[in-house]
Amino acid sequence: MQTELRAVKTRMNNAEERISDMEDRIMAITQSGQQTENRIKTLESNIRDLWDNIKRANLHIIGIPEGVEKDKGMENIFEEIIAGKFPNLKDTGFKIQEAQRAPNKLNPNGPTPRHIIIKMAKVSDKERILKAAREKQNVTYKGTPISLSADFSTETLQTRREWQEIFKVLKGKNMQPRILYPARISFQIEGEIRIFSNKQKLKEYSNTKPRFKEILKGLL
């Protein structure tokens, strides 16, 4: 009986060792998978930041009909818009590095005119023009409504869009919300300015503020 017990104990020990070894391997694979996923996310974030940095001095002009630049050129159209709609900026000495139509890979013959991308020499020039456009609100070119916006990566644009509903609610509560570069939201609460880069962090913060959580109910 003792011999059989020792044999059973040996088999159990061997089984436990194999199970422990398998658990270690599973853990290693899991950790490796998580590390790989984390590396991919980090790379994607770095690529997005790089694109946003490259595009930081760019302006988008949306709504200019196709073909009008053949006679005047992109830069002349842009200068005409500035002189006609934002005369205070006319003599500020800003410089344009490049002006071109955005490529439309999906539907080059689509009904919506391609955006015009203006690359400014200075980020500060781009920001002054965008500020003037926001203050004027309604901007037209030869009777056609147009809009001016910053140039961002696709991922950053999506993130900025996702803040819009929250932005509207906070604005309705006079919390002075702002969308900061590239895709952060800021607002005033309890006399302080709070800034958040994503909804998860905002949700974690709202869990500590019952009244604020109620304001954002259904949005996080």
Report the chain's mean pLDDT, rounded to a whole number: 83
| pLDDT tens figures, 29-55 | 666 655 667 776 776 777 778 788 888
* pLDDT tops 60 at residue 105: no
Burial class (CB in 10 A: 0-12, 13-18, 19+), 220: middle
pLDDT (mean) for 171-188: 92
- Quick one: average pLDDT of 1-20? 61
Is residue 111 over pLDDT 60? yes
Give the global pTM.
0.63
What span, in angstroms and rounded, lies between the C-alpha atoms of 130 and 149? Answer: 7
- Write down the pLDDT at residue 175: 96
Angle at CA 23, nearest 5°, toward 22 and 25?
65
> Topology of domain 157-215, per CATH?
Rec A Protein; domain 2 (3.30.250)
Mean pLDDT of 163-170: 95
What is the per-residue pLDDT across 54-98, written as a single tens digit (0 to 9) for each? 888 999 899 998 888 888 888 999 989 988 888 888 777 788 888
Pairing relation of β-strands 178-180 and 144-150? Answer: unpaired
Asked if residues 113 and 65 have their Cβ atoms less than 8 Å apart, the reply is: yes
Candidate from 4-8, 54-58, 114-118, 168-172 with smallest mean pLDDT? 4-8
Q: What percent of the chain has pLDDT over 70?
A: 79
Ranges 70-74, 160-164, 215-219: which has the least confidence = 70-74
Check pLDDT > 80 for residue 23. no
d(CA 124, CA 57): 8
Q: Which residue has the higher pLDDT, 42 or 198?
A: 198
SS3 (DSSP) at 179:
strand
Q: Is the pLDDT of residue 132 over 60?
A: yes
Burial class (CB in 10 A: 0-12, 13-18, 19+), 173: middle
Q: Quote the CATH superfamily of domain 58-151.
A: L1 transposable element, RRM domain (3.30.70.1820)
pLDDT, residue 110, reads 58
